[in-house]
Amino acid sequence: MPKSRIRKKADYTPPPTAGSSAVKLKSGRGWVAPVMLACFLLGLIWIVVFYVSSGSWPVSQIGNWNIVVGFGFIAAGFGVSTQWK
């Protein structure tokens, strides 16, 4: 039985770009990571301080709503994280 021919395709080479050969990827969102981490840490610290101080810190007048405030900061951190590229 005769062997079949192997067809060889030419490798794809992209067309040359006019002007630059390197592509710079700069999003301009250098503020996102620090703000996100700050929100996470602030929320965590808020909740830990509330538990360690038995409810007398950070704001004693709002009572257990301090937990909601702490989780609010953490949720804001997740909201900011959606802006990260």
pLDDT tens figures, 67-85: 999 999 999 999 999 988 7
Mean of the pLDDT values across residues 29-49? 94
Please report the pLDDT score of residue 60 as a whole number: 82
Place of tokens 């703000």: 35
Nearest Cα residue to 58 out of 79, 78, 37, 44: 44
Mean pLDDT in the chain?
Answer: 85
CB atoms within 10 A of CB 41: 13
Gap between the Cα atoms of 47 and 53, Å rounded = 10
Gap between the Cα atoms of 84 and 65, Å rounded = 30
Please report the pLDDT score of residue 81 as a whole number: 92
